[in-house]
Amino acid sequence: MTTSTEVAPDPAALVCRGLRVAFRGREVLGGIDVDLAAGEWLGLIGPNGAGKSTLLRAIVGLVDHDGTVALADGRTPAATDVALVPQAPVLPLGMTVAEYVLLGRTAHMGWLARESRADRSIVATTLRRLDLDRFAGHQVASLSGGEAQRVVVARALAQQAPLLLLDEPTSALDLGHQTAVLELVDDLRRSDGLAIVSAMHDLTTAARFADRLALINMGRMVAEGPPDVVLRADRLSQIYTTPLTVRTIDHELVVLPAPRTAIQGQRPTSNQSAPRNEATYERDELQRVAPSPEVAPGW
Amino acid sequence: MRCRRSLFRRRSVVTDRASVALPAPDVLVDVEVASDRAYRLSGTSVLVALGVVVAVGLLSATSGAAGLPVDDVVGAVLARIPLVDIDSSLSARQESILFQIRLPRMVLGMLVGASLGMAGAAYQGVFRNPLADPYLLGVSAGAGFGAVLALGFGLDLGWGPFDALPTAAFVGSLLAVAASAVIARGTASSPATLLLGGVAMAALFSAAQTYALQQLNETLAREVLSWLFGQLNTSGWRQVWILGPYVVVCGGVLFAHRRHLDVLRVGDDEARALGLNPARSRLVVIVAASLVTAAAVSVSGLIAFVGLVVPHIIRLLVSHSYRVIVPLSALAGAAFLAFVDVGARTLVAPSELPVGVITALVGAPFFAFVLWRGNATTI
């Protein structure tokens, strides 16, 4: 695991300061700061409803927000600067893979211009690069989950933005395809110097791929730093309101639910009915959950 | 994020980021050929559509009570073209039938069909709804209300070359569309809200129209109704000159924005993330489509089914891309309506059927057949 905080002098790719988002008076993000260097992968983790997606959407400019979102040169990011891989992308019926990837060129075309030869070349190159060229004429709606996700990534790459945002890029994929998509993104990061922000549910995967993790809960940044600093069993158990353990297997962090035998009788009985996020901090009984002996060093 | 590009800014110059580096052009050719097929309006399909339009045109010009042979019609038309040295073999009476009765009506039918076809395609695109048709936002009800006021109550909005009835229908249509957009708080709101605004306005204007119709005496009411059914009665070329400019201008705008309709297919959020301003695109497209629909309705009344079905037929037969659907729907709509009008004129000659009735009678079974043959789930 490389932590680019140690390789520091990369130029900043993204700077967010005091990012606040409210929907009808309800605060969804309460003042978040994000710093991202070029070529760095920041993983956003946190329970459902924590505000991870909203943070991504605020960076792209899809939701109204207070605070600043700026690139290194101070500009607000445009579609040529930041590409989003949405959580549930719309795959229109009858649209072919080539057409879909061409949508990524939208920001590079004038208001009334058509795609140029260069745009078509970039689509063709991107398809070839992601090993999708044989699907060029296939319909996106007919692809399997893993192929479809690769096509969505291809569209984002065709956007040629130095900043790539991924919203739960692998939640609909099986283990093999999850790894394949994330390895692909990681390769692209290394080859193209992309800066990446991804919202991820799987903490183990997040720890494996991201340089830094940002743990968000109820719209606030709870912890931020290298995975081994952020992923601590006590903190995670509290925020996810279920006992979790963090172990090191082959030098990689693995986050697991605590073994059922170890927590018999200690799992809060009201867990199913209580809204998970709101009840987080009142849940004293969780404090009593003993950390298992094999937890990661530094615990 | 605001779209910060100016209206006509050129495509940005390809930058030197690593992912931009292009392989040698010859390496790309085969992939390009494969992918190009997907998003290009093919010359073949345009030629086929144009061929159908011409064939329908010839059929229309030669059908009717007075027999006009095909070769003489072609000769007479060519003779009118400057610098073509052909003498018309038609008599003066035949010439006047051809140029004062048949051709104006045929051209008007094509213009109305093209208007409804492309407006239908545009509406289906901006509303992302396969049931959208050009009358969706209350155009029909507004036009009907205007027509009742003009015909029945002598409301004279006519000015210069514009008759009272078409003008009133035009104004009524645009009022209804504008009201739909206003109650949905502008075209920036979601397509569903706009659609519901249209439903509300259509209901309101229909009620007003029905009430006004009830106040009329039977003769006037019959006249209003026969206009509402849709007809292509022409007096020379006047209606063609009224509708023509709208078809050219609005058609140009819709043609220029057909790529935006493809981007909108992924939804407003993703479209915005891709760099399109969905509200602005939708506004432009709705204004252009509504204008051309209102103009068509004002000269021909309400002709059902063309705007709904023609884009679907193109979709099932050719492509789902709006780059293809918008232009081909205009051509196919033109051919379809001119063809159907031949039936309207000749089936029960010497009297006439309302063309709007035949569009539905012919269109519905044909649509059903295409739907049954094609893969209905891809609509």
- Compute φ and ψ for A66, nearest 5 degrees: -100, 165
Instruction: Tell me how far apart the alpha carbons of residues A42 and A49 are, in angstroms, rounded to a whole number.
Output: 19
A234, A242 contact by CB (below 8 A): no
> Superfamily assignment of A12-229 in CATH?
P-loop containing nucleotide triphosphate hydrolases (3.40.50.300)
B359, B304 contact by CB (below 8 A): yes
A163, A83 contact by CB (below 8 A): yes
Å from A96 to nearest chain B CA?
6
Å from B40 to nearest chain A CA?
9
Å from A84 to nearest chain B CA?
7
The pLDDT of residue B117 is 96
Mutate to test the interface with A, among B259, B264, B315, B324 (most CBs of A within 10 A): B259
Mutate to test the interface with B, among A59, A76, A109, A115 (most CBs of B within 10 A): A109
Q: What is the CATH number of the domain that holds B166?
A: 1.10.3470.10
Kindly give, in sequence order, each residue whose CB lies less than 8 Å from that of residue A271, ignoring residues fewer than 6 positions away. A241, A242
B299: in domain = yes
Closest partner residue to A92 (CB to CB) among B7, B37, B266 is: B266
The pLDDT of residue B248 is 95
| Mean pLDDT estimate for chain B | 81
Whether B273 sits inside 8 A of A76 (CB atoms) is: no
The set of long-range contacts for B149-156, using a CB threshold of 8 Å and a minimum separation of 24, is B149/B212, B151/B220, B151/B223, B151/B224, B151/B227, B152/B212, B152/B213, B152/B215, B152/B216, B152/B220, B152/B221, B152/B224, B153/B212
Closest partner residue to A78 (CB to CB) among B23, B39, B275 is: B275
User: How confident is the model over B102-137, as pLDDT tens digits?
Assistant: 899 999 999 999 999 999 999 999 888 877 888 878
Q: What's the domain range around B205?
A: 107-378
Q: Which residues of B touch A125 (CB under 8 A)?
A: 22-23, 28
Mutate to test the interface with A, among B26, B265, B285, B375 (most CBs of A within 10 A): B265
Low-confidence winner among B66-75, B247-256, B301-310 (lowest mean pLDDT):
B66-75
A127, B31 contact by CB (below 8 A): yes
Find residues 171-190 of chain A whose CB sits inside 8 Å of chain B. Answer: 188
Low-confidence ranges of chain A (pLDDT < 50): 1-10, 269-299
Whether A94 sits inside 8 A of B315 (CB atoms) is: yes
User: How confident is the model over A208-217, as pLDDT tens digits?
Assistant: 999 999 999 9
Confidence category of residue B5, pLDDT binned at 50, 70, 90: very low
Query: Is B24's Cβ below 8 Å from some Cβ in A?
Result: no
When pLDDT is averaged across residues B70-98 and rounded to a whole number, the result is: 80
B157: in domain = yes
Query: Is B16's Cβ below 8 Å from some Cβ in A?
Result: no
Closest partner residue to B270 (CB to CB) among A89, A98, A162 is: A89
Whether B321 sits inside 8 A of A97 (CB atoms) is: no
Whether A62 sits inside 8 A of B273 (CB atoms) is: yes
Nearest chain A residue to B27 by CA distance is: A125
When pLDDT is averaged across residues B302-324 and rounded to a whole number, the result is: 88
Direct distance between the N- and C-terminal alpha carbons of chain A, in angstroms, rounded to an integer: 18
Distances (CA, A) of B149 to A97, B102, B304: 52, 31, 22
Distances (CA, A) of A215 to A51, A99, A207, A231: 10, 37, 12, 9
The pLDDT of residue B17 is 41
When pLDDT is averaged across residues B70-95 and rounded to a whole number, the result is: 80
Query: Is A200's Cβ below 8 Å from some Cβ in B?
Result: no
Tokens of A254: 């693995």
When pLDDT is averaged across residues B17-26 and rounded to a whole number, the result is: 44
B97: in domain = no
pLDDT at residue B27 is higher than 70: no
Whether A99 sits inside 8 A of B321 (CB atoms) is: yes
Instruction: Tell me how far apart the alpha carbons of residues B60 and B46 are, in angstroms, rounded to a whole number.
Output: 21
When pLDDT is averaged across residues B294-315 and rounded to a whole number, the result is: 88
B161: in domain = yes
Nearest chain A residue to B256 by CA distance is: A112
Closest partner residue to A110 (CB to CB) among B11, B15, B25 is: B11
Higher pLDDT: B220 or A286? It is B220
pLDDT at residue B376 is higher than 60: no
Instruction: Tell me how far apart the alpha carbons of residues A234 and B188 are, in angstroms, rounded to a whole number.
Output: 46
Domains of chain A by residue range? 12-229, 233-288
Nearest chain A residue to B9 by CA distance is: A110
Query: Is A159's Cβ below 8 Å from some Cβ in B?
Result: yes
pLDDT at residue B91 is higher than 60: yes
The pLDDT of residue B358 is 87
B159: in domain = yes
pTM of the model: 0.81
Burial B265-285 (b: 16+ CB within 10 A, else e): bbbbbbbbbbbbbbbebbbbb
Confidence category of residue B35, pLDDT binned at 50, 70, 90: low
**Residue pairs between chains A and B whose CB atoms are closer than 8 Å:** 158
**Residue-wise DSSP of B138-189:** SHHHHHHHHHHHHHHH-----BTTB-HHHHHHHHHHHHHHHHHHHHTTSTTS
Number of domains chain B is built from = 1
Query: Is A292's Cβ below 8 Å from some Cβ in B?
Result: no
Query: Is B13's Cβ below 8 Å from some Cβ in A?
Result: no
**What is the sign of the dihedral through the CA atoms of A259, A264, A268 and A272?**
positive
Whether A192 sits inside 8 A of B19 (CB atoms) is: yes
The pLDDT of residue A299 is 37
Kindly give, in sequence order, each residue whose CB lies less than 8 Å from that of residue A288, ignoring residues fewer than 6 positions away. A266
Q: Which residues of B touch A89 (CB under 8 A)?
A: 266, 270
**Beta-sheet strand order (sheet of A12-23):** A26-37, A12-23, A66-70
Where does residue A180 rank: exposed (0-12), middle (13-18), buried (19+ CB within 10 A)? middle
Distances (CA, A) of B252 to B115, B153, B285, B288: 11, 37, 11, 9
The pLDDT of residue B2 is 41
